[in-house]
């Protein structure tokens, strides 16, 4: 008796919708017979065709609804345009609780964050849990429509109630009309034989496309991956069972992100004549499409990606030793002064270099032409002579005063919260004097560059410190460029760095 009371209430709402729009039924029949939507003077509710994703208010967002405005009602015509309404999880990337993850792992008979000995992300872990629920029969997916089957009617009423609850600003008679329209199909998500969500869509058989009207998961089952899994099952079903090649919807700007995560794109590749007149464009919305690939299994997609990754990793192991991890160097644990633990022979002192076929880098291709740098060949000794000379010259520049020593933390308390890798001329000079810190001119120049970048990051562009950094950097670059040359003496040719 409860069922018949509920169904009667739903039927009453549907009849109310018909009375509000008496021309709607005939226009729908004309659209089916002619293969196109009626866009004439009637401007009826149904034939203007389905469009944009509805925005709901902030309270809706707290319930996991991506949209927030009520249906637009043009003042001149007092009509309501059909819109796609999407209800999804609040944050599909948000992790579930630790307790839930542990339960998921126990259900799958394996650790929640590992697969085959490899770490897996939250998405993969959640997908494994949902697949386990499907295998146990706890989670089921069914596609039904209003075909006068009693059980189907019960499920459709439950789905209608979810849409109504999650979309309080959507007219209930409108939801009833679409859900119970025999031309609309609904994919249900059943958990323990109870409807917890679904997608209502309309297939266009001649165009081989489906248009999504509603997509919702009940509030107490959100942030668990059901929305994504539901969409994947819909793609697989309409591709295999209904021979569809495209899904299409008109999304409000707040719903574009959700559709993008589900594989929808703003670039419509489907022939224009297939959807124009069926999917009406509206201001403030974006039409989005998902092209269905016949060779892809959307239900097994995460599983296939993991299998491909394992194959690639296995091939990499065959060709390289990149997967071998050697113990770190223990010689630096006790710290000490520069040079105390100097590595003189990397190949013999560092494990793994020889196995990786590492070779000693070739000498630099430039020559030092700065006075006092020996024969000009960039040996370690000559490089340090050049670095000392550069530091001495930079210190004499009138804009070097802000960089002479480290910033005083007592004077600038928050400096080291902003600047994580500080540098100053005094510190750089100590590193040069150690004669083992800077092995290349590039390392030396990089520390100077970091010193200038730190100054610009902390100070605004109108400060004297910011301007000093710019001028001193230009001076430093000029001195470095003037102290080296890429011209080879014996041939007179030029080599690239």
Of 388, 430, 429, 423, the residue nearest 406 (C-alpha)? 423
Could you tell me which residues come within 8 angstroms of residue 171 by beta carbon, excluding any fewer than 6 positions away?
17, 71, 80
Q: What distances in angstroms separate CA 294 from CA 237, 253, 305, one per listed residue?
A: 12, 29, 17
DSSP-assigned states of every residue in 353-380: TTTTT--PPPPPS-EE-STTSTTS---H
Catalytic residue among 46, 101, 211, 289: 211
CB 167 within 8 A of CB 215: no
What letter does residue 494 receive in the DSSP assignment? Answer: B
Of 189, 90, 72, the residue nearest 138 (C-alpha)? 189
CB 369 within 8 A of CB 485: yes
Burial class of residue 209 in the structure, from the number of CB atoms within 10 Å of its CB (0-12 exposed, 13-18 middle, 19+ buried)? buried
DSSP-assigned states of every residue in 81-141: --B-EEB--S-TTSPPPHHHHHHHHHHHTS-TTEETTEE--HHHHHHHHHHHHHHTTSEEE
- Sign, CA dihedral 305-307-312-313, equals positive
Computed over its alpha carbons, how large is the radius of gyration of the chain?
A: 34
| Long-range contacts, stretch 469-472, CB < 8 angstroms, 24+ apart | 469/402, 469/403, 471/399, 472/394, 472/397, 472/399, 472/400, 472/403
Could you tell me which residues come within 8 angstroms of residue 400 by beta carbon, excluding any fewer than 6 positions away?
394, 425, 468, 472
3-state secondary structure 132-166: HHHHCCCEEEEEECCCCCHHHHHHHHHHHHHHHHH
Pairwise CA distance, residues 476 & 397, whole Å: 10
- Among this protein's residues, is 211 annotated catalytic? yes
**Max CA-CA distance within the chain?**
103
Pairwise CA distance, residues 450 & 392, whole Å: 19
**How long is the chain?**
497
Element (H, E) at 256: helix 256-261
Hey, which residues are catalytic here? 211
């Amino acid at each position: 008796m409860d069922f018949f009371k509920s169904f009667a209430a739903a039927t009453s709402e549907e009849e109310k919708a018909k009375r509000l729009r008496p021309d709607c039924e005939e226009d729908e029949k004309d659209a089916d017979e002619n293969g196109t939507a009626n866009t004439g003077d009637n401007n009826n509710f149904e034939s203007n065709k389905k469009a944009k994703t509805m925005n709901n208010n902030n309270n809706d967002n707290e319930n996991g609804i991506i949209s927030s405005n009520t249906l637009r009602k043009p003042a001149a015509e007092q009509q309501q345009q059909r819109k796609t309404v999407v209800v999804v999880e609040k944050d599909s990337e948000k992790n579930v609780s630790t307790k839930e993850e542990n339960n998921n792992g126990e259900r799958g008979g394996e650790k929640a964050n590992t697969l085959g000995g490899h770490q897996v992300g939250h998405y993969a872990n959640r997908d494994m849990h949902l697949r386990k629920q499907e295998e146990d029969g706890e989670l089921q997916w069914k596609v039904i429509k209003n075909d006068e089957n009693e059980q189907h009617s019960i499920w459709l009423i439950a789905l209608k109630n979810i849409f109504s609850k999650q979309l309080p600003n959507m007219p209930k008679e409108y939801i009833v009309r679409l859900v119970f329209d025999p031309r609309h199909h609904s994919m249900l998500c059943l958990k323990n034989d109870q409807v917890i969500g679904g997608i209502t869509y309309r297939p266009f058989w001649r165009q081989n496309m489906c248009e999504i009207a509603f997509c919702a998961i009940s509030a107490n089952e959100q942030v668990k991956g059901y929305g994504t899994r539901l969409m994947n099952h819909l793609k697989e079903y309409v591709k295999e069972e209904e021979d569809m090649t495209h899904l299409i919807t008109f999304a409000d700007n707040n719903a574009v992100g959700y559709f993008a995560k589900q594989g929808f794109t703003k670039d419509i590749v489907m022939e224009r004549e297939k959807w124009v007149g069926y999917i009406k464009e509206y201001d403030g919305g974006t039409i989005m499409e998902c092209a269905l690939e016949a060779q892809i299994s959307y239900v097994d997609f995460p599983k296939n990606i993991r299998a491909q990754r394992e194959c690639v990793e296995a091939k990499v192991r065959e060709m390289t030793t990149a997967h071998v991890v050697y113990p770190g160097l223990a010689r630096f644990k006790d710290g000490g002064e520069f040079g105390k633990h100097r590595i003189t022979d990397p190949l013999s002192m560092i494990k793994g270099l020889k196995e990786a076929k590492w070779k000693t880098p070739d000498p630099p291709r430039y020559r030092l032409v700065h006075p006092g740098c020996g024969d000009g060949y960039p040996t370690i000794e000559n490089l340090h002579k050049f670095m000392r000379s550069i530091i001495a010259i930079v210190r004499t520049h009138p804009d070097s005063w802000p960089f002479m020593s480290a910033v005083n933390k007592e004077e600038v308390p928050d400096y080291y919260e902003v600047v994580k890798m500080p540098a100053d001329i005094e510190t750089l000079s100590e590193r040069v004097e150690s004669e083992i810190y800077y092995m290349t001119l590039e390392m030396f120049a990089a520390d100077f560059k970091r010193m200038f970048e730190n100054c610009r990051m902390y100070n605004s562009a109108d400060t004297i410190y910011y301007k000093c950094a710019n001028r001193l950097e230009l001076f430093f670059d000029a001195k470095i460029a003037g102290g080296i040359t890429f011209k080879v003496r014996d041939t007179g040719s030029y080599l690239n760095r």
